[in-house]
Structure 1
Amino acid sequence: MPTPPQWRKSSFSGGGEGNDCVEVAHVCPHIAVRDSKAPARATLRVPAGAFGPFIDAVKSGQL
């Protein structure tokens, strides 16, 4: 049986219960992204190799 993904929240989750963010998990060979307010709904999966450059672009202000 496959191991369930280990979801992680951003360190910038906001105040309160920290539910206003996205969560990510490594689901080989992809990175899965979901809304922390609706974890049972659909997830977005992107190739792991594309996720790093996306995060770098966000951090640098390009996106």
Structure 2
Amino acid sequence: MKVVDLGHGGFAIEPTSPADAVQTLTRAQLERSNVSSEAIDIFRGYVEQTSAVNKSDSSQGK
């Protein structure tokens, strides 16, 4: 997991792998960081979609 400081109190999170993101960023951690439920759902959807694409690519030998 890599955290990028955007300045002025903003930050971005770059998981090193989708599994990293799911295991590390629990709803409680995100809520303590004042991240909205909508942002949490969007992030989790992205992780699930990315994970599915990576699994598909792996099974096709890419």
Structure 1 length normalisation: TM-score?
Answer: 0.31
> Which has the higher relative contact order, 1 or 2, with Cα contacts under 8 A spaced 6 or more apart?
2
Which structure features the higher share of strand residues? Answer: 1
